[in-house]
Amino acid sequence: MKSNKNEKGFSLVELLVVVIIIAIVAAIAIPNLLASRRAANEASAQSSLRTIHSAEATYQATVGLGTTYGSLVQLNTAGLIDSALGAATSQKSGYTFDLTTGTQIYCATGVPTTPGTTGNAYFGVETEGVIWKHTAAMTCAGGDLTPLGAPIQ
């Protein structure tokens, strides 16, 4: 069979060059994509804590008769937060949320489900409504966040 020199197509070298270029672009783009996702998860966690704070204020003024704050399940039952936040173990957008209530106080935290992957920052909110950000995990003790970190609001 006689080969025709006018055949058109890509050579193996040309295809390898294209594959290498695609690999380089992917190596540059993927870390930026993951960082954007972490930032979106952190923004969602802050928004969820704002929602919890607003729901607690409404709950205290209505169902709590001015003195009692509600758990996440109670806030969900009252229709003040969605079911993703209102479960006994609340996880939303790469963060796990916990809420502690006491006599006329509450404290809520947002912790990355997989630190470093779903988020780098830890968040918390207390009765006063200030949302705090820290690089280490925060806990609620007696209605106070420990350690406090820096206010973001």
Task: Give the residue numbers spanning the domain of 77.
Answer: 12-151
Phi and psi angles of residue 126, each rounded to the nearest 5 degrees, phi first: -115, 180
Tell me if 5 is assigned to some domain: no
Confidence (pTM) = 0.81
Which tokens in the block code for residue 99?
């809420």
Q: 2 in a domain, yes or no?
A: no
Residue 6 lies in a domain: no
Q: How far apart are CA 80 and CA 102, in angstroms?
A: 19
Compute mean pLDDT per 10 residues along the chain, 153 residues long, and list them: 69 92 90 90 96 95 88 94 89 93 90 93 93 92 83 79
Asked if residue 3 is part of any domain, the answer here is: no
